[in-house]
């Protein structure tokens, strides 16, 4: 089966009218673009078809505790000319993944994410604006010389090199559906801000993007704001910020004028010498917090802006779901070569988006917010059903399996989130570096 047949099997082809009414199908032009990604599109008979290689990469993200060979067995993945009872050689699976490469997985993730994250539901907007968040996360890779050279590792004053090479990922996420619109993946030596700047053209009009204070950059803010229509941003004030108050709008609401650094203007000569930002100051547990934003005073109230910034933590919850639920806290990726690390990463992000998107549609069908569905519950539901479907329909292709899941996930039980218990923070005792005997007796 060719890559063209692979993508055709994902769903029947129909056109879509706009981003908000994406029909869950893959248009023909996507297929034509995918065909240019690899010169290794054809496989000889008795090799693992690329449709099943794609399904295998997704399965690796859904069944992190299982070996790759066991994932293939669970999902009834077999080579052409072999029955499902005949096991695939470990070397055959590795070679099939190498032939597929990482580019098709990256392209498919980014193309689907661009449309899925822009799907809009009744309760999703904030005062008519879509809400997104940008933040970074790191993953460990196996400790091999090639991966260490490519990705690099962390260091500090005492440890010159961390135990594992580190991969850096910066994601752009819809804070309501938790679907990742886009992501940039690179080595640990690459800073987060340049990776974030590479995604700014994906942010839609009439939106607001929430950022962590580490992304403070005049170039990033101006590019985001001036690259479209009503593209706003919201970010905490840095402790060393220098400004002058231009106008007071009210208590805790003012217009500040800030100077653009010579370094930033040298990097981008189009930046102005100074820029005006709105500063909203509010109180959290007796401490004053200030956020800076491009939202105009005339249209958006200060108290609502203060509440809006709390949504930035939604992207942290998304990263937690990937690491704790999908990877089961095994944050070291399993692939051993650079290209397969990227392939595994794009496959994991695509699998995460599949779960999030289906949960969003299930929530909308019940008149609820997508955030009211527990990710682990949806993830477990999908993973368990894939095994049943693979056993019942071993001949079905990737797209048919996903289509069957979409028809059943609307029955997903909507578990309401419980209120977080209010307990005082405690400092845990640090672990000793000396072994502790099982027969040790605690002293009172």
Q: DSSP for 144-195, please give it.
A: -HHHHHHH-----SS-SS-SS-EEEEEEEEETTT--EEEEEEEETTS-HHHH
* Residue of 135, 169, 176, 209 lying closest to 349 (CA atoms): 169
**Residue 356 confidence (pLDDT) above 80:** yes
Q: Using alpha carbons, select from 363, 369, 368, 409 the residue that is nearest to residue 386.
A: 409
Domain that holds residue 376: 3-108+347-411
Tokens standing for residue 144: 């091999």
What is the mean pLDDT of the segment spanning 69-84? 65
Q: Is residue 68 part of a domain?
A: yes
271 domain-assigned: no
Residue bearing the bigger pLDDT, 411 or 361: 361
Residue 232 has pLDDT above 80, yes or no: yes
139 versus 48: which is more confidently predicted? Answer: 139
| Per-residue confidence band for 328, with pLDDT thresholds at 50, 70 and 90 | confident
Instruction: Specify if 171 maps to a domain.
Output: no
**At residue 349, does pLDDT exceed 80?**
yes
Q: Give the H/E segment covering residue 20.
A: none
The number of folded domains in the chain is 1
Q: What is the pLDDT of residues 116-132, one digit of tens each?
A: 888 877 567 899 999 99
- pLDDT at 53 > cutoff 90: no
**Do 380 and 36 form a contact (C-beta atoms < 8 A)?**
no
The DSSP call for residue 30 is H
- pLDDT reading at 299 higher than 80: yes
Strands 231-236 and 207-211, how do they pair? Answer: parallel
Give the lowest-confidence range in 284-298, 330-344, 411-425.
Answer: 411-425
pLDDT exceeds cutoff 80 at 203: yes
Out of 77-86, 88-97, 308-317, give the one with best mean pLDDT: 308-317
Q: Please check whether residue 95 lies inside any domain of the structure.
A: yes
Whether 84 maps to a domain, the answer reads: yes
Residue of 411, 323, 311 whose CA lies nearest to 361: 411
Backbone angles phi, psi at 111, to 5 degrees: -70, -45
| pLDDT exceeds cutoff 70 at 347 | yes
Q: What is the pLDDT of residue 112?
A: 85
Q: Quick one: which of 182, 177, 180 has its CA closest to 359?
A: 177
Task: Say whether pLDDT at 381 is over 60.
Answer: yes
d(CA 104, CA 3) in angstroms, rounded, equals: 9
Query: In percent, how much of the chain has pLDDT > 70?
Result: 71
Side-by-side strand order, sheet with 166-174: 180-187, 166-174, 130-140, 207-211, 231-236, 287-293, 274-284, 253-259, 244-250
In Å, how far from its chain's centre is CA 122? 23
């Amino acid at each position: 089966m060719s890559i063209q047949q692979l993508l055709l099997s994902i769903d029947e082809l129909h056109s879509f009218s706009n981003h908000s009414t994406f029909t869950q199908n893959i248009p023909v032009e996507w297929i034509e673009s995918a065909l240019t990604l690899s010169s290794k599109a054809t496989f000889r008979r008795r090799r693992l078809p690329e449709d099943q290689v794609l399904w295998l990469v997704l399965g690796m993200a859904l069944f992190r505790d299982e070996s790759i060979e066991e994932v293939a067995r669970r999902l009834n993945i077999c080579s052409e000319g072999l029955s499902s009872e005949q096991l695939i050689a470990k070397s055959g699976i590795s070679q099939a993944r190498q032939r597929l490469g990482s580019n098709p997985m990256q392209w498919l993730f980014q193309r689907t994410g661009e449309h899925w994250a822009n799907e809009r539901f009744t309760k999703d907007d904030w005062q008519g604006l879509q809400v997104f968040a940008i933040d970074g996360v790191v993953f460990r890779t196996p400790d091999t010389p090639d991966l260490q050279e490519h990705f690099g590792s962390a260091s500090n004053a005492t440890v010159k090199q961390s135990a594992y090479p580190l991969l850096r990922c910066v994601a752009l996420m819809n804070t309501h559906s938790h679907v990742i619109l886009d992501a940039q993946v690179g080595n640990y030596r690459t800073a987060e801000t340049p990776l974030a700047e590479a995604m700014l053209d994906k942010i839609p009009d009439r939106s607001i993007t929430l950022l962590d204070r580490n992304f403070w950059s005049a170039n990033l803010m101006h590019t985001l704001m001036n690259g479209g229509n009503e593209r706003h941003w919201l970010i905490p004030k840095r402790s060393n910020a220098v400004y002058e108050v231009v106008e007071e709008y009210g208590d805790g609401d003012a217009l500040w004028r800030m100077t653009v650094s010579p370094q930033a203007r040298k990097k981008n000569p189009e930046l102005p010498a100074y820029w005006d930002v709105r500063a909203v100051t509010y109180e959290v547990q007796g401490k004053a917090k200030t956020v800076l934003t491009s939202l105009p005073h005339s249209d958006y109230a200060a108290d609502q802006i203060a509440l809006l910034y709390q949504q930035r933590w939604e992207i942290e919850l998304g990263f937690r779901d990937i690491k704790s639920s999908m990877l089961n806290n095994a944050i070291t990726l399993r692939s051993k070569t650079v290209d397969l690390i990227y392939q595994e990463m794009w496959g994991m992000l695509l699998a995460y988006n599949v779960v999030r998107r289906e949960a969003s549609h299930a929530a909308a069908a019940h008149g609820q917010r997508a955030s009211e569905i527990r990710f682990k519950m949806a993830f477990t539901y999908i993973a368990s059903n894939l095994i049943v479907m693979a056993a019942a329909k071993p001949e079905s292709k990737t797209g048919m399996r996903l289509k069957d899941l979409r028809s059943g996930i609307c029955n997903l039980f909507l578990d309401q989130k419980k209120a977080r218990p209010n307990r005082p923070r405690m400092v845990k005792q640090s672990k000793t570096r000396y072994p502790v005997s099982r027969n040790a007796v605690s002293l009172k």
